[in-house]
Amino acid sequence: MCATCGCSGRARLRLVRDGEVAGDLAERHGHDHEFHHEHDYEPVTGAWEGEGEEEERPHDHARHRTVLLQQKVLAKNDAIAANNRAWLRDRGVLAVNLMSSPGAGKTTLLERTAGDLAGDPRISVIEGDQETALDASRISATGVSVVQINTGVGCHLDAAMVERALYTLDPLPGSVVMIENVGNLVCPALFDLGETARIVLASVTEGADKPVKYPHMFRRADLVLVTKADLLPYVDFDVARHAADVKRLSPDARMIQVSATTGEGMADWYSWLRLSLPVRG
C-alpha cells in the first residue's frame, strides 16, 4: 500500500474490441510467456516517504520499517520493468508512458493519433483508469488494439500490470505501445513501467505552474506536450514561464504545443514518434 496515497488492491484487466469489453483478464497469469519471472501478480504499489532523511527519529521504528518496505516494493517493480524494457527493445517496439493530471487530453490525443497515423506505425494501447472502460472503448472505436487496466483505488500503473497487458496485446515489431497512465501528477512518476520514453501532457487550461508544483514528474520527462493549444487565446497560461520551468527541470526534454481538436502541432508529435522507434537488431 502507498503510505502517501493509500492505494492498494488487485488490478483488473479487460480486453476491449470495437468499443465493447470482449473479455475479463483478471485471472490470467503470464507464467507461460516470454516475460516469465518468479513473482506473483499482486499490483506493485508504494511511494517514497521521508526521502533524503539520514537518521531515524526516536520512537519512529514504524516509519523506518515503512520506508524500507517501500524501497523493497520499488526495487521489485524496477526488476519487472527492466524485463519489460528488454523484451520491448528486442522486438523493436516503442513504448511511451503518457502521464498527466485528469482531463489534460490523453485519450483525445490518442484518438486523433490513431486516426491520423492509420497504422503507420501500428499502435496498440494500454489504458489505465481506476474504474470503467470508457476511455478504452473510445480508443477501440478507432480500430486499434487496447487493454483496459482498472486499478480500483490505485492511483498509478506499475510494471507488473503493464507486463500482463503486453502479453495480451502481443505488439508487432516496429509498432508503438501507448500506455495511458492513471490521471495523477504524483505517483506515476515514481514507477518505472519499462517504457522507452516518458511523456507528460500539460493542458493550457490547468495553468502554467504545474512544473514547479510537481517537479519530479517533469524532471523525468523526455517530451512535454502542451495540450489544448487552441484554447491559448482564452486562458491565462504563460507559455514562456512554463517553457522556462520545464527547461530548468529537464534540460533535454523537448516541448511541443498541440491541439487534438485543430491538428496544431500534431505533425511534430508524429515525427517525434517515428524518430523514436528503436532500430531492431
Helix/strand/coil percent split, the chain, to 5: 35, 20, 45
Looking at residue 63, its pLDDT comes to: 62
Peptide bond into 233 cis (omega under 30): no
CATH fold label, 12-26+76-276: Rossmann fold (3.40.50)
Looking at residue 32, its pLDDT comes to: 39
pLDDT < 70 regions, the chain = 1-10, 14, 18-23, 25-71, 280-281
Looking at residue 41, its pLDDT comes to: 36
Whole-number Å distance between alpha carbons of 57 and 11: 35
Neighbours of 100 (CB within 10 A): 27
Looking at residue 62, its pLDDT comes to: 60
pLDDT digits (tens, 9 = 90+) for 107-140: 999 999 999 999 999 999 999 999 999 999 999 9
Looking at residue 24, its pLDDT comes to: 72
Residues 6+ apart with CB under 8 A from 65: none
Domain boundaries, given as residue ranges, for the chain = 12-26+76-276
Q: Enumerate the β-bridge partners of residue 177.
A: 95, 124
Residue with cell 516517504: 49
